[in-house]
Amino acid sequence: GQNIDQPTEMTATEGAIVQINCTYQTSGFNGLFWYQQHAGEAPTFLSYNVLDGLEEKGRFSSFLSRSKGYSYLLLKELQMKDSASYLCAVMDSNYQLIWGAGTKLIIKP
């Protein structure tokens, strides 16, 4: 079957750096997405990786290793507004997104 694993919850301190990991096993691979979802709101797109390596966008970076079935989202200079759930999703061979359950990130002052 298809599976996306990510930690259920993480806690970090304002101003620090946090890395949220995602491992996947899917039927085919057409890219990996990270979304942010604040409580009670819709998911919003953060990043997309299809080739191995690091994609940087401001305070957020996303890394992909296709051979290891592994990705991480790196958040730098954490702010209180970064408190949210972070969803990892893989596009499979049918071009459908398979979603992880999300990682709830709690930021403490």
**Cβ nearer to other proteins, comparing 20 with 87:** 87
| Residues 16 to 35 in contact with other proteins, rule: CB under 8 A | 30-31, 33
What's at 6, amino acid-wise?
Q
106 binds other proteins (CB under 8 A): no
Binding mask 53-92 for other proteins (x = CB under 8 A): ----------------------------------x-x-x-
Taking the CB of residue 11, how many other CB atoms lie within 10 A of it?
Answer: 11
100 binds other proteins (CB under 8 A): yes
For residues 91 and 57, give the distance between their C-alpha atoms in angstroms, rounded to a whole number.
21
97 binds other proteins (CB under 8 A): yes
Nearest to 105 by CA among 39, 60, 61: 39
Of 21, 23, 48, 66, which one interacts with other proteins (CB under 8 A)?
A: 48
3-class SS of residue 57? strand
**Cβ nearer to other proteins, comparing 60 with 99:** 99
> CA 75, 41, 46, 8: dihedral to nearest 10 degrees?
50
